[in-house]
Homo-oligomer: A and B are copies of this chain.
Amino acid sequence: MLTRIDHIGIACFDLDRTVEFYRATYGFEVFHSEVNEEQGVREAMLKINETSDGGASYLQLLEPTREDSAVGKWLAKNGEGVHHIAFGTADVDSAAGDIRSKGVRVLYDEPRIGSMGSRITFLHPKDCHGVLTELVTSAPPAPTDH
């Protein structure tokens, strides 16, 4: 059902400085960056490795675009650090339904749009031993002319 660690979401105060830390310290480069206004974050995805299910694992660096966003409130309380973890699945709707049926609270009624056009939902950390847990289905590859 869940076939990879899709990403580790890390909250930071200053995205540019944090991107530079990961580049200078480890050589990790930005694979993709975007602003997600619904989630209230500016983010950078650093691709670390590919995975045996045909996907990849990333670090997702997150800077809030507003203080009242989920990440903004979390940062004000906790300071910088790991905000959530995410598992990849071929079918986020099915996985979320299955997990909801086991009594774990799923935070969205329907999956929303995450990084790189993925479809995502979150599980309540109090139902997951303190870990805010995201489920991700990657966007299909863009059509080509071939």
Tell me which residues across on chain B come within 8 A of A82, comparing CB atoms. 8, 81-82, 85, 131
Q: How many copies does the complex hold?
A: 2
Which of A19-27, A29-37, A113-121, A137-145 contacts its partner?
A19-27
Nearest Cβ on chain B to A47's Cβ, whole angstroms: 10
Complexed CA–CA distance, A3 and B49 (Å): 6
> 13 A-B Cβ contacts within 8 A?
A5-B49, A5-B57, A5-B59, A12-B130, A18-B129, A21-B129, A26-B99, A51-B57, A79-B130, A80-B129, A81-B129, A82-B82, A82-B85
Chain A positions 100 through 121: 1 when the CB is less than 8 Å from some CB of chain B, otherwise 0 = 0010100000000000000000
Nearest Cβ on chain B to A139's Cβ, whole angstroms: 19
Q: Given A2-B27, A80-B131, 9 other A-B contacts at CB below 8 A? A: A1-B27, A5-B8, A5-B57, A8-B82, A25-B102, A26-B99, A49-B53, A49-B57, A51-B52
Indicate if the CB atoms of B49 and A10 lie closer than 8 Å. Answer: no
Nearest Cβ on chain B to A93's Cβ, whole angstroms: 16
Tell me which residues across on chain B come within 8 A of A27, comparing CB atoms. 1-2
Complexed CA–CA distance, A79 and B9 (Å): 19
Nearest Cβ on chain B to A51's Cβ, whole angstroms: 4
Nearest Cβ on chain B to A62's Cβ, whole angstroms: 11
